[in-house]
Amino acid sequence: MRRIRRRKRQTRVASYIPPPPPAVLHRSKRDRDRDRRYRTRYGITLLDYEAIFEYQKGVCHLCGRPPKKVSLAVDHDHRVKGGGKTSVRGLLCPGRYFGCNRKLGGIDNVPWLKRVIDYLENPPAQTVLS
């Protein structure tokens, strides 16, 4: 009979998440869950999210469209060590395939983006062909 080897479970050390602010405690469970998710992932509270949302007038910062079914996604810089509030850049439309947050994730390189803008404004083929 063959023996099946089982791996030992790894124990995860949970990082400390401070309790939500009192203004969030009296809200619905959905809002409390959102607050916990924002604090865990991005280091901001639901109140911070709502302040950014109000500052952006409730629309995506890049395309200017309001959210349809889901709330705006928190855009953050992955290169910032430790994350936290300093990594949050704004709120963008999430879109599974074509949202601004997805598009920006693929072009998160400023020098490359400047070259793309130069390429679109001055296409090399037009210079050669004219």
- pLDDT digits over 20-47, tens only? 667 666 678 888 888 888 888 888 888 8
Q: What is the mean pLDDT of the chain?
A: 80
* Average pLDDT of the residues in 51-68: 90
User: Does residue 91 contact residue 75 with C-beta atoms inside 8 Å?
Assistant: yes
Closest CA relative to residue 92, chosen from 83, 102, 84: 102
Residue 130: band (very low, low, confident or very high) from pLDDT cuts 50, 70, 90: confident
Q: Does the structure show a pLDDT above 70 at 57?
A: yes
Amino acid identity of 70?
A: V
| Helix spans in the chain (H) | 22-25, 29-42, 46-55, 100-106, 110-121, 124-129
State how far the Cα of 41 lies from the Cα of 18, in Å rounded to an integer. 13
pLDDT by residue (tens digit) across 83-121?
677 788 899 998 777 788 888 877 777 888 888 888 889
Q: Which residue has the higher pLDDT, 11 or 63?
A: 63
Q: Does the structure show a pLDDT above 80 at 79?
A: no
Cross-strand partners of 73: 92
Task: Spell out the residues 6+ positions from residue 17 whose beta carbon is closer than 8 angstroms to its own.
Answer: 36, 39, 40
pLDDT value, residue 108: 73
Residue 9: band (very low, low, confident or very high) from pLDDT cuts 50, 70, 90: low
Tallying the residues shown for the chain, one arrives at 130
Query: How many helices and strands in the chain, by DSSP H and E?
Result: 6, 2
pLDDT value, residue 80: 75
pLDDT value, residue 113: 84
pLDDT value, residue 51: 92
Long-range contacts of 1-6 (CB under 8 A, 24+ apart): none
